[in-house]
Amino acid sequence: MAPRLGFYPDYPPRVRVEWLIATTRVVLAGGALLATAIRPFSPGDWITTYTLGWYLVYSVVVLALVWTPVRFARGWGVLLHVVDLAAFSAFVFFTEGTASPFYVYFIFLLICSTLRWELRGAVFTATAAILIYGGISLYAVTVLGRQEFNTFVIRIVHLIVMAILLAYLGAFHHKFQREIGRLVSWPRKLPHYPRDLVQEIITQSAEILEAPRVLLMWEEPEEGSVNLAWGGQGSMTWEVEPEAAYGSFVNPGLEHRSFQAPDVSDDRGRVIHWSADAFLQRHGRPINAALQARFDIHAAQSWALDGELIRGRLFVLDKHRMRIDDLVFGEVVARLAVSRLDNLYLLRRLSHSVALEERLRVARDLHDSLLQTIAGTALQLLAARRLLERDPDAARFRLEDVQNQLESGELEMRSYIRGLRPATAPREPTPRIGLNHRLDELRQRVERQWEIKTRMRLDVNADDWPDPIADNIYRIVQEGVLNAARHADASVISVDFTLDGGKVRVRIADDGRGFPFQGTYDLKALNALNKGPLTLKERVADLGGDLTLNTTDTGTELVILVPLVQAVG
C-alpha cells in the first residue's frame, strides 16, 4: 500500500518561528527607542518615546511567553500581527526623518507574515501596510502639510518594490519548506514486500521532485539482470530484463553524475550536469538510445544510484520546468532511494544467512541426537542378532535395551520438534530433566552398548544451570564420548566438569589409539588444518568457547571451555 501523501511536518517548527519573531521585535523596538532618545528633542517627541517605550515592554513580555516551548492558542499569530500592524501605523504617523523606523518595521512585518503564512501572508500584509501608509501619508500631505507629494510617491514605489522582492523570497521559502517537509515525511520502516518498497520509492520520488513520471533502474546484485520500475503518484510497473538489454543506462562521461537535458533525442542538445560542486555543460545525447525509445523520453533529469549493493539510475521524465538546483536536491532523493533498496537486499541476505545458520543448528542437533540414537540402536541390533542362537537371554536383554533406547529417542525428538514450532497457544509444562540425570543415562548407555568403563565427575551442581547451556554441554559431552566409544577402541572414558572463572571447563579423555594425526591443537589450528571432530568444533565456536585437543597413540584428551553468560545468551 502506497504511503499517504499530502501531510508534511511543520517546518520550521512554530515555536522556533515565534521565538525568532519575538527576539527580533525586542531588538527593533529597543533600537527605535534608542534612535529617538539620541536625536535632538522636539516638543512632539514625548508621544513617540512613550509609544516606543510601551511597545518595547510589550515585546519583552511576548518574548518571555515564547522563551520555552508552549502550545499556542488559536489566533495567537493573527493577534500579534494585528498589534504589529497597529504599531507600524503609529510609527508612520508619529515619526519622521532619519529616526523613523518606518522602513525597518515594514520589512519586519513582511518577514513575520512570510514565516507564519508563507506567500499569502506576505501579499496580504504588504497590501495592508501600503494602504495604511498611503492613507496616513495622504492625510499628512493634504491636511497637515508634513511632506511633499513627490516624497509620498517615491516611498510608495519603494514599498511596492520591497513587497515584491520579499514576496518572491517568501515563495522561495515556501518551496524550500515543502521540499524539506516531503523529505521528512518519507516513511522510516521498510515495507514487508519488495513491490511495496519499489512503489514507495516511485511515489515518493514523483511527489518530492514534482514529476509526472519517474523511472527507476538498478542491477540485481549477483543475478545478471536489470530491474525497471516506472510510474507516477499512485501507479507503478516493474519488469526484470537481461543485464545486456540496455548496456550502460547513460552515455559515457555521465555514469556517476547528475544531469538534466531538455531534449534527450537531440544529438547536439544541451546537457547540464553536476560535477565536483559545479554545474557544467556539454552537448549530445545523454541517455542510451534504446532506453530513450522504450520510454519515449523527451526531457529528463537523472541521478546515479551508488549504494553498498545497488548500482543504477533514477530518472525524472517529461518535467515541464527543470531547474538546475533540482539536481542538487535530487541527490538527496536518490540517496534515500538507494539506501532503501540497499536495505531490501541486505535484509534478504540476512534472512538467507539466518536460515542457513538455523539449518546448520538443526543439522548438528539431529546429528547429536537422532543420528547417535540410530547408530547405537544399529549396533545393539547387530549384537542381539549374533547372540540369538548361542545366548537367547542376552539377546533378549539387548532387544529390551534397544526398545528403551528407541522410546527415549522418540521422547527426545518429540520435545525437539515441539521446540521448533512457533508458540501459538499455551503448552503444558514439560517435566525438566536435569543435566546430571542425562549424563548418567549417557554413561549407562555407553557401558551397555560398548562395554567401556565410563566415569563422570562433576564438581559443580549442573542441575541449576539454565536449559540452553545444559543442553549445549550435554551435546558436547555426548559427541566427545560417543566419538571415543566408536572410533578410539578405548577401554576407559573419563569426563570431568569444573568451573573456571565464569566458564564451564569440560575434560574428555580416553585411553584409545588417538586420532590419525598427533600433537596438541587449539580450535583455530584445527580449523586451519581442517581436522578434528567437525560437529563438536562448530558447536563450541557458536557458543564463543575454546577447545584444545591433545592426541597421541595412547589416547586423546579434549579440554573445552564454554562461557556461562554467552552460552545462556
Q: Which of 39-48, 174-183, 206-215, 372-381 has the highest mean pLDDT?
A: 206-215
Average pLDDT of the segment spanning 339-363 = 75
**Pair 208, 160 in one domain:** no
For residue 485, the enclosing domain spans 454-569
Is the pLDDT score of 42 beyond 60?
no
**260 and 228 in a common domain:** yes
State residue 9's pLDDT score: 47
- pLDDT value at 416 more than 70: no
307 has pLDDT over 80: yes
Asked if the structure places residue 361 within a domain, the reply is: no
Q: Pick from 55-59, 129-133, 144-148, 237-241 the range whose average pLDDT is largest.
A: 237-241
pLDDT score at 458? 84
Cβ-Cβ contacts under 8 Å for 533 (sequence gap 6 or more): 479, 480, 483
Q: Looking at 26-30, 137-141, 307-311, 499-503, which range is the least confident one?
A: 137-141
Cell digits of residue 354: 539466518
Asked if the structure places residue 138 within a domain, the reply is: yes
Confidence of residue 132 (pLDDT cuts 50, 70, 90): confident
> Is the CB of residue 190 less than 8 Å from the CB of residue 219?
no
In-domain check, residue 398: no
Q: Which CATH number belongs to the domain containing residue 235 in this structure?
A: 3.30.450.40
Residue 412 in domain: no
Residue 356 has pLDDT above 70, yes or no: no
Rounded to an integer, the average pLDDT of 295-322 is 88
Q: How far is CA 167 from CA 109, 153, 162, 326, in A?
A: 12, 21, 8, 21
pLDDT at 215: 93
Answer whether residue 356 is part of any domain. no
Give the pLDDT of residue 423.
55
Mean pLDDT calculated for residue range 120-139: 76
Q: Are residues 156 and 203 located together in one domain of the fold?
A: no
All residues at 6 or more sequence positions from 326 whose CB lies less than 8 Å from its CB, including other chains: 209, 260, 301
**Do 313 and 205 share a structural domain?**
yes
Sequence length of the chain is 569
Indicate if the pLDDT at residue 81 is higher than 90. no
Do 328 and 274 belong together in one domain? yes
Closest CA to 111 of 27, 225, 6, 205: 27
**DSSP code, position 388:** T
Q: Tell which wins on pLDDT, 155 or 350.
A: 350
* Mean pLDDT, range 430-434, rounded to an integer: 64
| 144-158, 168-182, 212-226, 335-349, range with the lowest pLDDT | 144-158
Residues 76 and 168 in one domain: yes
pLDDT of 89 > 60? The answer is: yes
Confidence (pLDDT) at 8: 42
- Residues 136, 230: one domain? no
Predicted confidence (pLDDT) at residue 569 exceeds the cutoff of 50: no
Give the CATH number of the domain where residue 495 resides.
3.30.565.10
Among 307-311, 388-392, 423-427, name the most confident range.
Answer: 307-311
For range 408-426, the mean pLDDT: 63
pLDDT score for 546: 92
Reading the block at residue 26, the C-alpha cell is 525586542
Mean of the pLDDT values across residues 408-428?
Answer: 62
**Residue-wise pLDDT tens digits, 442-488:** 888 888 777 889 999 887 777 778 777 888 888 889 888 888 888 88
Q: What's the rounded Cα separation, in Å, for the pair 516 and 5?
A: 70
Q: Which of 307, 332, 350 is the last residue of a domain?
A: 350
Domain count, the chain: 3
178 and 41 together in one domain? yes
Same domain for 131 and 214, yes or no, is no
Among 70-84, 104-118, 131-145, 539-553, which stretch is predicted with the lowest mean pLDDT?
131-145
Residue with grid cell 562395554, as numbered in its chain: 451
Backbone angles phi, psi at 41, to 5 degrees: -80, 135
Residue 2 clears pLDDT 50, i.e. is over it:
no
Q: Is the pLDDT of residue 4 over 50?
A: no
**Eight-class DSSP state of 386:** H
Looking at residue 214, its pLDDT comes to: 92
Last residue within a domain, chosen from 136, 155, 184: 184
pLDDT at position 551? 93
Q: Is residue 407 part of a domain?
A: no
Q: Are 154 and 224 within one domain?
A: no
What is residue 6's predicted lDDT score, i.e. its pLDDT? 38
Kindly give the residue spans of alpha helices, DSSP state H, lying in 140-214. Answer: 149-184, 194-208
On whether the CB atoms of residues 446 and 502 are closer than 8 A, the answer is no
Q: Report percent pLDDT > 70 for the chain.
A: 74
Q: What is the pLDDT of residue 245?
A: 72
Q: What is the pLDDT of residue 107?
A: 78
Does pLDDT of 191 surpass 90? no
pLDDT band at 142 (very low <50, low <70, confident <90, very high): low
Q: Mean pLDDT for the chain?
A: 78
> Of 184, 214, 234, which closes a domain?
184
Higher pLDDT among residues 100 and 437, named by residue? 437
| The three three-digit cell numbers of residue 226, written as one number | 536489470
105/244 same-domain check: no
| Domain membership flag for residue 439 | no
Q: Would you say residue 491 has pLDDT above 80? A: yes
- Residue 554: inside a domain, yes or no? yes
3-state SS class at 544: coil
pLDDT of residue 451: 82
| Mean pLDDT to the nearest integer, 203-215 | 88
Q: What is this structure's pTM?
A: 0.52
Specify whether 243 is located in the same domain as 306.
yes
Ramachandran bin of 146, using left for φ above 0, alpha for ψ from -120 to 50, beta for the remaining angles? alpha
Q: How far is CA 51 from CA 28, 46, 301, in A?
A: 13, 8, 56
